[in-house]
Every structure is written in C-alpha cells, then in structure tokens.
Amino acid sequence: MQPAKIYLGSTESRIQQYRADSQKYWDKGDAENAQKYRDSIKAVIVNTYIKEHSFTSLEGSAFETANQDKPMFLQVTASWCVPCRAEIPALNQIAEKYQDQVDFVLLFQDPADRLTTLSKEYNPTITLVPSNKVVSDPNTIYIAGFRHTMGFPSTYLITPENQVINFTQGAQAPRTYTREDGKEVTITQEEANRQNFERLEAEIKDLLQKSAVHNL
C-alpha cells in the first residue's frame, strides 16, 4: 500500500516555527544552530507534493502543473531582490541548455505592471508569472493557490509527478566582504555568474536523474 501523499501546503505551520527558531539563533549570533533549523525547513519540504495549479504567465497563457511530461524548475523571486537579479544571466544559460528537458517557471512577488521592463532580461523559454495580489509580508507570495513564505530566491525542483525532490535558497551576487581573518574578498559579476551556473546546473542534473528514477 502506497503511503499517503504529504502536500507542501500542509507544512506551513512547521516551516513558520522553524523560521522563528532559526531567527532566534541568528539574533544570538549562533549561526550553527540557526542553520540547523534552516536545514530542518528543507527536510520538511523535500518529498512533499504540490497540488494542481494553473499559473497565468505575463503574456496571459496558462501553465498547468497537472499532467506534466517534464520535470519543473519552480522559483519564487522578486524584482527588487539583488541576488535574484544577479542570477538572471546564469539562469538564462541554464534554461537555454535544458529547455527541452525541464520546464522553467518563475513566480514573482511583483504584479504584472512591474515586470514589463524586467521581463526583457529573461530567456523567452522561461515562463514568468506575476502576482495578481501582493500580500503584505514581503517574503510571501500566494499565486493560484501556491503559497510560499520563505523569501527570495527560493527554488523547488519538482518531478513530473509533482513531487518536490529538492529545495534550495539564495544566489551569488557581486559584492565585497571581509572574512573572519580580516581579508577583504571581492566577488565579480563574472565569478558570480560562474558560481550560479554551476549550482543551477548541479540542481538540474539532480532533478533529471531523480525524475528518471521515479519513471522506472
């Protein structure tokens, strides 16, 4: 007998609790324990299922999550998110390379009128979905029944059977920072692109491998 499916939407209360616990440790300067709670959030999400959603793209076409014949890269993002913007070049390269094997869908915290100019920066193979209702919490989106409360960018890697097999957060952005040893480190746009591409490709390859196993 197959175990009952656990849906992503049913995990929100646990996610919120782990988020609160993680923040308590960040506030204390305890990064190690804060990260443990962040890892717990990922453990809650992975192997859940998303329900059937119908997303309306910026161009007005519908993207149905039901009965997909390809795995899906589903990312939640926002126009004002610096790492999200920095990731665009690498994401475009990945979408161009894997468009025949994976559906790329981006859910924006922004409404459609904010995306007209930004949309020109994305590869046309990527489906861009604006919010039709902006919620008060800047870390949350709610689009066509899909609710996310974990900030941006966050990525769900989903099999054709709508099972989440991985959940990742963050992207590299150009910056200069000081390490604990006092050394100043600069990450250029070129280096950020390289790191983002390598991470995204590793995620896509893992998604394709695990989706193939599911189809056996």
The pLDDT tens digits for 27-75 are: 999 989 889 988 999 999 999 999 999 999 999 999 999 978 999 999 9
Give the chain's domain count.
Answer: 2
Same domain, 169 and 83: yes
Q: Are 165 and 159 in contact (CB under 8 A)?
A: yes
pTM assigned to the model: 0.94
Same domain, 66 and 38: no
Domain extent at residue 139: 51-214
pLDDT of residue 161: 94
Whether 112 maps to a domain, the answer reads yes
Q: What's the whole-number mean pLDDT along residues 14-26?
A: 91
Largest CA distance in the chain: 57
Whether 145 maps to a domain, the answer reads yes
Q: Residue 171: count other Cβ atoms within 10 Å of its Cβ.
A: 25
pLDDT of residue 134: 79
Q: Indicate the SS3 state at residue 195.
A: helix
- Whether 216 has a pLDDT exceeding 70, the answer reads no
The confidence band for 1, taking pLDDT boundaries of 50, 70 and 90, is low
Judged by average pLDDT, the poorest of 28-37, 51-60, 83-92, 164-173 is 28-37
Exposed/middle/buried for residue 213 (C-beta within 10 Å: 0-12, 13-18, 19+): exposed
